[in-house]
Amino acid sequence: MGKITVIGSMNMDLVANVDHMPKTGETIIGKSFEEIPGGKGANQAVAMARLGGQVNMIGKLGDDGFGKTLLKGLQKDEISVEGVQIEENTPSGVALITVSKEAHNSIIVVPGANFKLKKEDIDRNIQIIKESDFLVLQLEVPIDTVKHSLKRAKDLGVYTILNPAPAQKLDKSIIENVDLLIPNETELEILSGIEINNEEDVIKASKSLIEKGVESLIVTLGEKGSMYIDEKGFKKFKAHKVKAVDTTAAGDSFIGGVCVSLSEGKTIEEAIGYGSKVGALTVTKKGAQSSLPYKEEIEALKEA
Ligand code: RIB
């Protein structure tokens, strides 16, 4: 089995469950509040570990209570945390999340220590990357660190996966070092500058990124499933139908599933099929890491 390294964010999610999303200037009474470990990087790492992946995490936590809780959580899931550093006099990253009864959410990330992850921290941990087969990144750490990590990994022959979330325009120098890009429709639109209204637009926008140097893409389309696009063409994949209660971390768990499957030597088609099951199960439970399924749960789904 291949080894996976995730470079990314670790946040404490401060989650309010509400009947409806507040409008600008409106005060509403929430139904419940919870602190749940999250952060796109940590969510993807935890998803992979629970699915049987061999995972290293590289990132920064603050020297506070949230940092201690988040670190313990990663260790409990048997993720190697040698590359996780505690930044002194800095708060850990937090995410303010509101979830409505229709399972819609809004998220504000305050990065804290995540934004202190520098190129030098990547160089200090280069041995971890060197010994990995896959490197997975998102955009909740500084963009210069993402760029540097992708370049170093590519030079070492490590397969690179980028989840461009939260979305921002990316330089060609970043894009050309990505083997597999996994955006959703909105992220694809921002990255390519092409408005997405239908399947043809997804293909057109993806091709424009392939021309800039991306090897291949999986575009996640929510309830509509996903599409795989590379130089040779495209394939469509259906979503599993489930009753969603909270979509937080659905994309993260999909990526976790895809990556673990690839690390087991499965084809991209098999990996996407597996990722879809993982994502589907995730939305049936509340929260980020609290909703990430274990390998056995996915196997049970297969038999059902
Ligand atoms: O993708 C969901 C995650 O986004 C949350 O856990 C939150 O921390 C933000 O990083």
Q: What angle do CA 161, 165, 171 make, to 5 degrees?
A: 70
d(CA 218, CA 258): 10
- The first and second tokens of residue 290, run together, are 């609290």
Confidence of residue 302 (pLDDT cuts 50, 70, 90): low
- Do 139 and 168 form a contact (C-beta atoms < 8 A)? yes
Note if 63 is an active site residue.
Answer: no
Express each pLDDT in 70-104 by its tens digit: 999 999 999 999 999 999 999 999 999 999 999 98
CA distance 142 to 119: 9
Ligand 1 pocket residues where CB is under 6 Å: 9, 11, 13, 38-40, 43, 95, 107, 109, 140, 248-249, 252, 288
State residue 276's pLDDT score.
Answer: 96
- Tell me whether strands 159-162 and 11-17 are parallel, antiparallel or unpaired: unpaired
Instruction: Render pLDDT for 136-191 as a digit per residue (tens, 0 to 9).
Output: 999 999 999 999 999 999 999 999 999 999 999 999 999 999 999 999 999 999 99
pTM: 0.97
Instruction: Find the 31 Cα to ligand 1 centroid distance in Å.
Output: 21
Summarize pLDDT for 30-52 with one digit per residue, the tens.
999 999 999 999 999 999 999 99
Ligand 1 center to residue 259 CA distance, Å?
18
Which tens digit of pLDDT belongs to each residue from 100-121? 999 989 999 999 999 999 999 9
Query: Which of 44, 248, 285 best tests ligand 1's pocket when mutated (most atoms within 8 Å of CB)?
Result: 248
Report CA 302 to chain centroid distance, whole Å.
24
Catalytic residue, candidates 13, 77, 121, 252: 252
Nearest C-alpha neighbor of 39 from the set 1, 16, 7:
7
CA of 93, closest atom in ligand 1: 8
Separation of 249 CA from ligand 1 center, angstroms? 6
Q: How far is CA 263 from the centre of its chain?
A: 16
Cα 157 to averaged position of ligand 1 atoms, centre (Å): 29
User: Per-residue pLDDT for 303 more than 60?
Assistant: no
Q: Which residue has the tokens 């091709």?
A: 207
pLDDT at 27 over 90: yes
Strand residues in 111-153 grouped as ranges (E): 134-137
Helix (H/G/I), strand (E/B), else coil: 273: helix
Residue type, 18: V
pLDDT in tens, 207-217: 999 999 999 99
